[in-house]
A and B are shown apart, each in its own frame.
Chain A
């Protein structure tokens, strides 16, 4: 499948920076310990913001470590001045990647790209889009490019 390599996020992201999750409510199931955030959840790390109505926390084997956060129900990822929307996003904190899936729309200034899936590598600030990638490039009109 054809894919597009784009840069995402103005500068490299420090993936060991603290991750802050704010939400309206958090419900924890006592038996298996799954934690589900609900109600305009915002995950913030550095200048990256991931907003979604529902986020499920998935633990890694070692205690006290989060493997990834599954955001569902319409997700918006903002980093620097770029923004990306999708139905679902899996933010793998340990690997420092965000995998967005379900008609992804990435806007970079005037340009817009749509695809089925997008994998953002926060460390290198690059994004790999795949699955019916379509790019809409805004034509700069003459007088703007005159200078």
Chain B
């Protein structure tokens, strides 16, 4: 049936053309005129990946616990551990705590450690801090400690405090004593201790 005359029908007719065109234009801004941002840029990548550490095998916060033949418990934790070549394991900020059957403890902290499984030995480096429950807190630069037995020796001189004064010595060996369950801290190659007698209260 023919279109009726009059303004209204003319407006509707024009709208029938303009409105779809407007819709088309709106739709095209969605795809054709989209922002130039490269979608790959701001996706959150791990920094490790960005700095190239892609191939590393890494254990974070490793925890090792074991008991020695004589019943002393050894607990080792670190920030992270990476396997090195020929069976070595590199750990950083290692903390080892050795607890004797009677409760006395020795705590070792070192920024870097290389654990050699073959010889059941760990080499702690970079400033090792040794603290014993008997009140000895000493610092040395390196220490070699064994896993299967409470035996360790420093690779250099030791400096620090004893329960009753300041102490420095040429070296320190931690070894099992003859009597069962006892551990000896043996400061060797010259020991010097300064004791300040406290004024008698």
Contacts and interface: CB of A to CB of B under 8 A. Distances in A.
Interface string B171-201: 0000001000111111111111111111110
B140 to A, nearest CB: 15
Contact of B184 (A16, A28, A65): A28
Contacts of A37: 191
Interface string A12-37: 00011111111111111111010101
Interface stretch (B9-17, B88-96, B107-115, B161-169): B161-169
B152 interface: no
A25 B188 contact: yes
Interface stretch (B20-28, B29-37, B98-106): B98-106
Contacts of A6: none
A19 B191 contact: no
B195 A18 contact: yes
Contact of A22 (B133, B164, B191): B191
A23 to B, nearest CB: 5
A16 B199 contact: yes
A20 B193 contact: yes
A10 B134 CA distance: 38
Given A31-B100, A31-B104, A65-B198, A22 B182 contact: no
Contacts, number: 96
Nearest to A37: B191
Interface residues of A, number: 28
A27 B179 CA distance: 14
Interface stretch (A56-64, A74-82, A124-132): A56-64
B190 A33 contact: no
Given A25-B191, A26-B169, A59 B197 contact: no
Contact of B164 (A23, A24, A31, A57): A57
A28 B193 CA distance: 13
B132 interface: yes
A94 B190 contact: no
Given A16-B199, A65-B198, A94-B197, A30 B184 contact: yes
A20 B169 CA distance: 13
Q: Identify the 8 closest CB pairs spanning chains A and B, nearest first.
A: A33-B134, A28-B185, A30-B183, A26-B187, A26-B191, A30-B104, A19-B195, A21-B193
Given A24-B189, A24-B190, A30-B133, 12 more contacts: A16-B197, A19-B195, A23-B190, A25-B186, A26-B191, A28-B136, A31-B102, A31-B181, A31-B182, A33-B134, A59-B164, A64-B164
26 contacts: A18-B194, A18-B195, A18-B197, A19-B165, A19-B194, A19-B197, A20-B192, A21-B191, A21-B193, A22-B190, A22-B192, A22-B193, A25-B186, A25-B187, A25-B188, A26-B169, A26-B193, A27-B186, A29-B184, A30-B134, A30-B182, A30-B184, A31-B104, A59-B164, A64-B164, A66-B164
